[in-house]
Amino acid sequence: MAQFIDYYQTLGVDKSADEKQLKKAYRKLARKYHPDVAPNDPAAEQQFKAVNEAYAVLSDPEKRAKYDKYGKDWEHAEAFEQARQQQRGAGGGFGGGGGNPFGGQYTYTAGGEGADFSDFFRDMFGGAEGFQTAGGGFGRQSRAFRGRDIEAELRVQLNDILQDNKQVLTVNGKQLRVTIPAGVEEGQTLRLRGQGSPGAGGGPAGDLYITFRVEVPAEYRREGADLYKTVDVDLYTMLLGGKITVDTPTGAVSVPVGETTANGARVRLKGKGLPRYKGSGHGDLYLDLNVRLPASLSAQEKEAFTRLAGWSAN
């Protein structure tokens, strides 16, 4: 009988753990066993894989419910239910009578250490022994099962999305070359077909879904391909006009400021935003100009402003 994998034990949490507790436990263990922290350590690598697998299942409410009921064979829950219903309809249920749907030949404890449907699936869907019902036998059936999908997050910096960017990622011990699309936005997902968990019985592998988390520097606010930034400008430039130097994601630029520019005025730098995701061209960078008052005034400055105030009053 195959060994039961206790995902709760893997993460070191109780079966009643909520989403917050699961995430906290996962992050702690993922940091501990990450290949960057423990390089060239096969045991740590295996533990890292186990932690990711456990969290992928328990963090998904639907998958967790199946796991709690069917143990490590939760991926085949629907096939099991369908096959059981078919056999009940055809032969009055699996042989042996009683409350055991396996006819006394198999036992299980839902979600517990005794939970093991592997022998059932092996016999039912193509194992060595075949399977008998009370009403007579039926031949071996070969069933292929698709591997489960894997979900992962990839954190990228703003500079990483200024153009298509190729990176090599390690997912479940496999190195994958992934292209980060230019202008990708927060929360968007990239699907890699066939890069999930391997299938069973000759079935296809699942898919890998990578969700992007784009870290935007605090100085910017992003809206699609457009960026917004507040820039402090000294009082004299706002009054008399001039030029200021502003940092943008693609480098510093010189920006003209007109005379008597109002505080809070917005300047548009066309094409200085981010690439348009799956589109052409770039967004814009909007600068909100904020007047920076002097920290103190000299005697001459006070006198000049006093005269200016008097002229304005007249």
16 Cβ contact partners less than 8 Å away, ≥ 6 residues apart:
none
Nearest to 156 by CA among 165, 148, 145: 165
Same domain, 36 and 118: yes
> Which amino acid makes up residue 254?
S
Q: Is residue 306 part of a domain?
A: no
pLDDT tens, residue by residue, 102-149? 333 333 333 444 444 444 444 444 443 334 333 444 444 456 788 888
Query: Model confidence over 91-104: pLDDT tens digits?
Result: 443 333 333 333 33
Cα–Cα distance, 59 to 80 (Å, whole number): 23
200: domain range? 150-215
Between CA 41 and CA 269 the distance in angstroms is: 50
pLDDT digits (tens, 9 = 90+) for 251-298: 999 999 999 999 999 999 999 999 999 888 999 999 999 999 888 888
Query: What is the residue-averaged pLDDT of the chain?
Result: 79
Alpha-carbon distance 306 to 314, whole Å?
13
Q: Do residues 115 and 13 share a domain?
A: yes
Q: Is 233 exposed, middle or buried (0-12, 13-18, 19+ CB in 10 A)?
A: buried
Both 59 and 105 in a single domain? yes
Domain count, the chain: 3
Strands 131-133 and 136-138: what pairing?
antiparallel
Amino acid at site 199: G
Cα–Cα dist 91/273, whole Å: 67
Helix 61-70 crosses helix 77-91 at what angle (to 10 degrees)? 50
Report yes or no on 174 lying in a domain: yes
In a domain, 192, yes or no: yes
Report yes or no on 261 lying in a domain.
yes
Question: The whole model's pTM is what?
Answer: 0.54
* Same-domain check for residues 205 and 234: no
Determine the Cα–Cα distance for residues 65 and 120; give it in Å rounded to an integer. 20
What is the C-alpha to C-alpha distance for residues 244 and 262, in angstroms, rounded to an integer? 15
Whether residues 20 and 134 fall in one domain: yes
* Domain boundary pick from 112, 138, 164: 138
With a cut of 80, say whether residue 58 has pLDDT above it. yes
SS3 113: coil
Report the alpha-carbon distance of residue 286 to residue 229 in Å, rounded.
Answer: 6
Give CA–CA dist 159/83, Å, rounded. 52
Same domain, residue pair 180 and 200: yes
AA identity, residue 165: N
Whether residue 108 is found in the same domain as residue 200: no
Joined tokens for residue 42 = 């096969």
Measured in degrees and rounded to the nearest 5, phi and psi for residue 102 equal -95, 10
* % of the chain beyond a pLDDT of 70: 75
Q: At what angle do helices 42-58 and 61-70 cross, to 10 degrees?
A: 100
CATH number, residue 185? 2.60.260.20
In terms of Cβ atoms closer than 10 Å to its own Cβ (0-12, 13-18, 19+), residue 57 is buried
pLDDT value at residue 306: 85
Q: What is the pLDDT of residue 148?
A: 86
Q: Residues 116, 73: contact at Cβ < 8 Å?
A: yes
Do 18 and 114 reside in the same domain of the chain? yes
What are the helix (H) ranges across 6-156?
A: 7-11, 19-33, 42-58, 61-70, 77-91, 118-124
In a domain, 249, yes or no: yes
Of the candidates 85, 88, 80, which has an alpha carbon nearest to the alpha carbon of residue 125?
80
Last residue of a domain, which of 105, 138, 171?
138
Please say if the pLDDT value at position 1 is more than 70: no
| Residues 59 and 117 occupy one common structural domain | yes
